[in-house]
Amino acid sequence: MAAPARPLFVLFGSSIVQLSFSHGGWSSHLSDIYSRKADILLRGYYGWNSRRALQVLNQVFPKDAAIQPSLVIVYFGGNDSMGPHSSGLGPHVPLHEYIENMRKILIHIQGLSEKIRIIVLSCPPVNEEKVRGNTSGIFSELVRTNELCQSYSEACIKLCKELDVKVVDLFNALQKRDDWMNACFTDGIHLAAEGSKIVVKEILRVLKEAEWEPCLHWKSMPTEFAEDSPYDLVAADGKTTLNPSEWTFYREIQWG
């Protein structure tokens, strides 16, 4: 492993996490924002629900790991909230079980370290019409409705408040855009670049407002190897060098 060790941020969830480096995804933005401040580790699994997450929880987050994360961002709920299939197969998890599964996941992560911090992303909405239109011969019927998404989102938020865990209300955050149904998704479910920008903005807001010591907002964290160097680019005066360690002008968005 490269040294010195930076703080570790782990993103744990289903396809909203696995695909978060695709299509201008939200974890690609976080990796850029924290490029000299923290390491972003992706643990996303397409199609997973909270049951599958529990099966591997001890492997993804072993209690005896030499290095524990500083921050874990957790997302499960979109697949859990799908309507049940008549066969009994598929990702659907009843709401009461989903909440208990999430409780176990969050309590396990809280127990890894006294310093560990958690942010949960609640279930986002979907473009129902587009989801129905994308059903192909590969899948059986996909039952995804905003009524179900909202109920799982609200239950997740309630649980997080109970456990004193920070949460991003994605169901309502995405819908603040008038054109959210078309702008925020690639296929009616997974996030397009515009949807991911909203996720990043909400995560940074939580990190900025949280009264955590140390603060994990990027502007408050030290930059690795930020000292001046005679090997930096020479300034216009021809006598000094320009320290580029904090430059952000190249970013499309100047994140707050």
Report all structural domains of the chain as residue ranges with CATH numbers, in order of start: 8-226 (3.40.50.1110)
Residues 6+ apart with CB under 8 A from 105: 50, 53, 54, 57, 74, 76
Measured CA to CA, the distance from residue 208 to residue 226 in angstroms comes to 22
Query: What's the confidence (pLDDT) of residue 84?
Result: 84
pLDDT of residue 90: 81
Q: What is the mean pLDDT of each run of 10 residues along the chain (256 residues)?
A: 78 98 96 97 97 97 96 97 84 96 98 97 94 66 88 98 98 97 94 98 98 97 95 95 94 94
Residues 6 or more apart whose Cβ sits within 8 Å of residue 113: 68, 69
Name the pTM for this structure: 0.94
Determine the pLDDT at residue 135.
63
- Catalytically annotated residues: 14, 187, 190
**Residue among 163, 179, 188, 218 at smallest CA distance from 32:** 218
CA distance 98 to 100: 6
What's the pLDDT at 73?
98
